[in-house]
Amino acid sequence: MKLKVRNFDLTAGGKHIVILNEEFAKNIGIFPMDRAVIKKGNKSLTVVVDLASVILGEGLIGTFREVWKDLKLRDGDTIEFELAEKPSSIEAIKKKINGEELNKNEIYSIVNDIVKNNLTEIELTYFVSACYMKGMSLEETYHLTKAMIDTGERLKLKRYPIMDLHSIGGVPGNRITMIIVPIIAAYGLIIPKTSSRAITSPAGTADTMEVLANVTFDINELKKIVLKTNGCIVWGGSLNLAPADDKIIKIEHPFSLDPESQMLASILAKKMAVGSTHILIDIPIGKGGKVEDIEHARHLQRQFLRLGARLNINIQTVFTSGDEPIGNGIGPALEARDVLLVLHNRGPRDLREKSLNLAANLLEMSGKVRRGKGRKIAEQILISGKALKKMREIIKAQNGNPNVNVSDISIGKYSYDFLSDRTGKVELIDNTMISYIARILGCPRDKGAGIYLHKHIDSHVKKREKLLTLYSESEGKIDKAIDILKQINPIIIK
C-alpha cells in the first residue's frame, strides 16, 4: 500500500511511531499498536501504528521526528506500507514470564529487537518485569551482558591495563569517581569512565560532571579525550555503548525497578564496551540503600566475581559504608563543589578518605603498584596537586573551564536552614528521605538544587543548630520540600 507522508515536528520519546486516520485504518483492518514496515527506496523501518480521527485524512501517514529523520522523509513523500509480524522475541519474553530459562539465541533476539525498536514499550515492560519477578540465572546474565556489548559500539584503545570502577549506588553524594579518575590518570594509567545520569538519586556522576564540563560525546571524540589525558568522565548514554541497556533503564525508572541480572549486565556491558580489563566494584552497605546487609553484599560479590570469570576480566569488590550520605553536598552543583574542595586538599573528610582508599585498590589491581603501597601513592598524588592538575586537563578536554573554582559554581537562589529541635548526637540519617527531598527541590535537572549536610552520624548537635540547608531554583519546590521535611525528619538525634 502506498501512503503520503505528513511529518510532525514532535518526538515520540525515541520510539518509532506513525499515525493513520482512524476510519481509514478500520476499513483496511489495522488496529492501534499493530506493527508495520514502511519503506522509502531501499531503506525500511519497523514502526508501531497509532490512530487519530481528525488530524489526518485517508491515504496519509503521520510520522514523528524519530521516523522521518531515520528514513529522511519529507512532507508529501510516498512510502510503501505493509503490516509486519510480531518479532520472534515475543515468544522468548512469554517464556521468561512463565519463569523458564532463556537460551543464548532467545536472549540475543530480545536484545537485538530492543536496539532496533522492534518491541513496544508494553512488551519491553513485560520483559523487565519478568526478569525482576522471576530472576535470571548466571548463564542468562552472561548472555545478556554479551548481547548488550555486541549490539553497540566499542572503544578500542589498544592499551593494557584499562582501569575502571563502579559504585552500585543507593548512597546520596558519593562522588568518588570525580576524585579517583584524576588520581589514576595522573599516575599514568588509562581510565575511560563512562557514567550514568540519575534515575532515582539526586545526581549521577554524569549530572555532577556536567556542572564542570560537557559530558556528551561520540565514540571518536571520547577516544581522543582518553588518549590525550588518560581519562574521562562522560555520560555513557550518548555513546551507543550497550544501547539496549539505556532503553531498559527508561522502563525501569517509573517503578524504580532494578533486577539483579540487568544491573550486573548493565554495569559490566558498559565497562567491557570501553575495553576495561580491571574493574573495581564498590558495594555500599546501609539501611535505605540498594544493599542493606552483609549477606546481600556477599551474594552480589559472588555474582560479580563469577560473571567476571566468565567474561575473562579482572574484577574486585569492596564493601563500604552506606549508612549515610558521603560528602556534604547532595545535588549536582553542591557535589561538584565538594569534589573541587577535596582536589584542593580541603572538603569533606569522608569523601576524601573513601576516594583515596578505592584509588589505592585500583592502583594495586593494575599490577603497577605493590600491595600495601597504593594508599600512600594515591595520597601523594592528591596532596601534591597532581590530581587537581589532571582534573583540569580532563575538564579542558571535555570543553569545560579548566580554571573553574568552587566560587564559580552557583547554587539555587532559594534556601532554607533546617534546625535541630534538641541537643544530642546524630544517630541516623535516612538516605531514602534525603534523596526524595533533594529530588523535590529539583535535582538532578536543576543543577543548583540540593541539600547541604552540616552534620553526619555521631556528630554532636546543639538545639537550634543547623542540620541541613535546602537549595532550590524554584520557590514552589522549596516550599513543598520544607513541608515534607517538617512532617518526616530524615535525621534522628538522641
CB 7 within 8 A of CB 71: no
430 included as an active-site residue: no
Phi/psi region, residue 145 (left: phi>0; alpha: psi -120 to 50; beta: rest), is alpha
Question: What is the rounded distance in angstroms from the CA atom of residue 265 to the CA atom of residue 271?
Answer: 10
Question: What is the rounded distance in angstroms from the CA atom of residue 265 to the CA atom of residue 72?
Answer: 34
Cβ contacts of residue 322 below 8 Å, gap of 6+?
170, 171, 284, 285, 286, 289, 291, 431
Per the residue annotation, which of 164, 207, 258, 323 is the catalytic one? 258
Question: What is the rounded distance in angstroms from the CA atom of residue 37 to the CA atom of residue 84?
Answer: 6
Q: What are the cell numbers at 63? A: 510520522
* Helices marked H in 138-214: 138-150, 177-187, 205-209
Where are any strands of DSSP class E within 108-263? 163-167, 191-195, 231-235
Q: Which amino acid is at 295?
A: E
Sign of CA dihedral 335, 341, 346, 351: positive
Question: What is the rounded distance in angstroms from the CA atom of residue 342 to the CA atom of residue 335?
Answer: 11
Question: Does an H or E element contain 335, and which?
Answer: helix 332-343
Using alpha carbons, select from 214, 212, 216 the residue that is nearest to residue 402: 212
Active-site residue set: 258
